[in-house]
Structure 1
Amino acid sequence: MASAVPSAVPSAMERPHFIGIGGAGMSGIAKILAQRGAKVAGSDAKESGAADALRALGATVHIGHAAGHLADDASCVVVSSAIRPDNPELVRAAELSVPVVHRSDALAGLMTGLRSIAVAGTHGKTTTTSMLAVALTELGLDPSYAIGGDLDGPGTNARHGAGEIFVAEADESDRSFQKYDPQVAIVLNVELDHHANYASMDEIYESFETFVGKIVPGGALVIAADQPGAAELTARVRRGPSAPKVVTYGESATADVRIDTVTPRGLTSEVTVLLDGRPLTFTVSVPGRHYAHNAVAALAAGVALGIPAPELAAALGAYTGVKRRLQLKGEAAGVQVIDSYAHHPTEMTADLEAMRGAAAGSRLLVVFQPHLFSRTRELGAEMGQALALADSSLVLDIYPAREDPIPGITSDLIVDAARAAGAEVAACRDKAAVAGVVAGMTRPGDLVLTMGAGDVTDLGPAILARLSN
């Protein structure tokens, strides 16, 4: 059994104020600090399940942003890269000379003194981190974890455990993953994304190389053998002067942890890997080959940390999914509605192929909401091509998140590319009309997939309600 971990809160974090406290990454750090005894406060743009969960832990959560929300005795203000310099609480922090801490620095502080696993990659971070958190908990190791999504309900994205292991999702989007010093680092894939922060693949590789360079002496890098970007990163790391131990996984014959077979079993998969030349078979309780790869990455990382492979493989079967990762929202009138966070073409293709494999013979209808103007400008054509895997699609307006509009960049780029690829697709400017349009398109046996990283997830219940009527 793991030894107890330090529960003291650094003085700088005793009374933290979070701007955007309801966000996936921010709320997790706030939750762990509250569980460790800090006096947590913060603000967010709207009410949420995460805000309610934090209040239940004693945190003060304001709705809306105002200078008066920042207490005079705050020990620091925690921000993410999405917080703009003119935020009134950030301006007030400068007036009061309250230190400003990036969320990555706060998370790095929480991991100090623990055996940490940092999960990185352009896609699959949340799923893989969740798989590890669930499996280690199932084994009684009581890990701490910080995940970019909820496991089974609001506020379940993070936990302060009594064990010595900390599993964290490591975000490359703003280079913040370079702040961590993991014992084991996972790199699932390396692709060009986050175009506002990276101008080229070379910049992406350099950023990941810096992340890998922070692995503590004696630690290990677990990295995909099959994905081209990961393979290039592996070659670069091995050429470096002080490369960590490298453990590759995948279907390649040269992989250290080789995936022998992935057998679909409805909405689950049976996976057999060869580890040290011996077969090991276990169940992954979510559909799709890419999720099987995520599970094998989690297995390889746990083994690198010293956890027996057979025990960990069995425990991975306890993972049943995370919100917004092919999450079944319900069924009405014989139609299943499923929610997907996929917003990059690779993720979209993987989830659409997974649904095709899991429900052969069913029609697949997609409601897609592009995320970010910059991503649509760079990858809109590929998004449209991915939608050709669906039987029919509706494309909503771009969800801007932290970005201002870019002249000439609209979701029409995706619609036009999808039509050029032979897809049946239509633009839908009125989000409020989507539920009715979808209800008119469906018939019993269909699958409806709401897809994107924005508020398209809110449409699932509305579609189910309209189908029920």
Structure 2
Amino acid sequence: MDITKLKKIHIIGIGGIGISAVAKLLLNQDKIVTGSDLNDSDIIGTLKNFGAKIKIGPHKAENVTKDINLVIYTDAVPEDNPERVQAKKLKIENLSYFQFLGQFSKDKYTIAISGCHGKTTTTALTGLILENGNFDPTVIVGSKVSNWDGNLRLGSSEYFVVEGDEYRAHMMELSPKAIILNNLEFDHPDFYRDLTHYIDTFQDFVNKLPEDGHLIYNRDDKNIKERLEIPNCHIATFGLDDPSADLIVKNIKIEHGRQIFKPVYKGQELRDFNLQIPGKFNILNALGASLMALELGVSPDVVKNTLAQYTGAWRRFEIIGKISDLTPDKNGALVISDYAHHPTEVAKTIQAAKEFYPDKRLLVVFQPHQIQRTKSLFDDFIKAFAQSPADVVILSEIYDVAGREEKDVTKRVSSNDLLDKIILTESKKLIAGVKPSLYYFASDLTETKAKILSEVQSNDVVLILGAGDIDKVARELV
């Protein structure tokens, strides 16, 4: 497909955080862009300001006209969607969002950031470092970055930085010249049979790298180190625990809301790096981005300065603000929203919050994402909370993802089941003389908000976690 020859493109589900970046990309190339979405949003308002013509409401065949050259759709749009059906009837080419990215990546020096956790932060940091290093990349990120126009940074060079999403093996659509591989851990049980299937798919992905390509990987990750066969290309590694990695750190400390650490690149100590975002996992994200840039020839000072200026992305430990307009014993509580939804992410994000705010009470609100994920990783969620430093935990009911649940699984697990098992585990703390956390269940977002307002204290950090619609509650609190 020759994108330059396209004149008019229709996008189904145009308000999605990823696909909306494609809409902006096409609009910046002076394409005519139409679209449809079930719901209005700030993202759609921005696209309209850019010139997109968008219909809000149920998808209709009439939204797809014969003068359209290409239809792009989000992963959530089924094959029998009336607009997809109409496109096929009119013999208009249909591409998924990820198929389009794959086509776009073919003519680029594509740097794909992949793995189970940390893709968005690493993508944003990689793009920012390359931008400040005068590489002028195009970047598509699955969040909003304040330095750019939200989820898109439009560049004029051959460099293209993008998230390699592993859900349904979407990253296989890309043609990478470089891959930053953060970690491998079982997820997406509605697609992957088990960890072996998950890792085998990533093996196929890294095998796509050409001999002159780059694989940048986390040498601390056991599954990468022990179960992935490293392809024949340029290899560079990073880590916190493995001293043999090409980029390691020394002397991590937290001061005044920053993580400060000494990077060592191939045996050479560099000037201290610092981050405004918490958690050792974010240091690893920063190391992956930094190592990619260093291997491409970006100066260490550009890397250092970019990391120091980065304040985070939308729903990635995003500080929303402080609660006000309540009573003095509640006003002043700090509200933070984060996308964490895998047990490992949840545990590490809670720990990171406690490290950054050691003197504050920690009230954690978690909305599990997808019934099948909750069921498959149930014991891991129990462990994540039973070992967490949270003082109060509110478990909102599971966010049911349309089209991603097996019919026989929907009645088998609830956030309330998690609550019961966690409380049973917490009782062992009490026997051991350790004060357990307080736990509550909320059946919907209204009850979740009410419970937060009931329990919150002025010295709290309210950490709201989940990939579903729980973020709405965070923004309503301030």
From 424, 446, 449, give the equivalent of 2:460: 446
- Counterpart residue number, 1:341: 339
From 415, 423, 426, give the equivalent of 1:419: 423
SS at match of 1:349: helix
SS at match of 1:421: helix
- Counterpart residue number, 1:274: 264
**Cα RMSD (Å):** 1.8
- Counterpart residue number, 2:151: 157
Matches within 5 A, 1:301-320: 301-320=292-311
Matches within 5 A, 1:11-410: 11=5, 13-64=6-57, 65-152=59-146, 156-233=150-227, 236-238=228-230, 243-251=232-240, 252-280=242-270, 281-332=272-323, 333-388=331-386, 389=388, 390-402=390-402, 403-404=404-405, 406-410=410-414
Give distance in 2, aligned partners of 1:132 and 1:23: 22
Any idea what the Cα deviations from partners look like across 1:248-269, whole Å, max 9, x if unmatched?
1002111121222322124321
- Counterpart residue number, 1:463: 477
Give distance in 2, aligned partners of 1:154 and 1:56: 16
Q: Which moved more, 1:340-349 or 1:129-138?
A: 129-138
Q: Which amino acid aligns with 1:24?
A: I
Q: TM-score, normalised by structure 2?
A: 0.90
Unaligned runs of 5+ in 1: 1-7, 465-469
Give distance in 2, aligned partners of 1:435 and 1:56: 33
Runs of 4+, deviation exceeding 4 Å: none
User: What percent of counterpart residues are identical?
Assistant: 29
Give distance in 2, aligned partners of 1:257 and 1:154: 28
Q: Is the 8 A contact 1:327 1:340 kept in 2?
A: yes
Q: Which moved more, 1:291-300 or 1:131-140?
A: 131-140
Any idea what the Cα deviations from partners look like across 1:311-358, whole Å, max 9, x if unmatched?
223222221100101111111212000001000001101110100100
Q: Which amino acid aligns with 2:378?
A: G
Change (3 A) 1:379 1:295: same
Q: Which amino acid aligns with 2:175?
A: D
Q: Is the 8 A contact 2:121 2:312 kept in 1?
A: yes
Q: Is the 8 A contact 1:380 1:417 kept in 2?
A: no
SS at match of 1:294: helix
Q: Is the 8 A contact 1:260 1:272 kept in 2?
A: yes
Give distance in 2, aligned partners of 1:220 and 1:107: 20
Give distance in 1, aligned partners of 2:249 and 2:147: 32
Q: Is the 8 A contact 1:28 1:158 kept in 2?
A: yes
Any idea what the Cα deviations from partners look like across 1:107-137, whole Å, max 9, x if unmatched?
1222333322110010100010011122222
Q: Which amino acid aligns with 2:208?
A: K
Q: Which moved more, 1:207-216 or 1:383-392?
A: 383-392
Deviation at 1:153, TM superposition (A): 8.8
Q: Is the 8 A contact 1:136 1:315 kept in 2?
A: no
Deviation at 1:401, TM superposition (A): 2.1
- Counterpart residue number, 1:467: none
Q: Which amino acid aligns with 1:237?
A: E
Deviation at 1:62, TM superposition (A): 1.6
Give distance in 2, aligned partners of 1:463 and 1:434: 11
SS at match of 2:359: coil
Q: How many residues align?
A: 451
Q: Is the 8 A contact 1:120 1:170 kept in 2?
A: yes
Give distance in 2, aligned partners of 1:79 and 1:460: 29
Q: Is the 8 A contact 2:106 2:174 kept in 1?
A: no
Q: Which moved more, 1:342-351 or 1:158-167?
A: 158-167
Change (3 A) 1:17 1:153: farther
Q: Which amino acid aligns with 1:50?
A: I
Give distance in 2, aligned partners of 1:40 and 1:261: 51
SS at match of 1:168: strand
Q: Which amino acid aligns with 2:307?
A: L
Give distance in 1, aligned partners of 2:63 and 2:147: 27
Q: Is the 8 A contact 2:251 2:262 kept in 1?
A: yes
Change (3 A) 1:155 1:91: farther
Deviation at 1:463, TM superposition (A): 2.3
Q: Is the 8 A contact 1:15 1:38 kept in 2?
A: yes
Give distance in 2, aligned partners of 1:257 and 1:294: 12
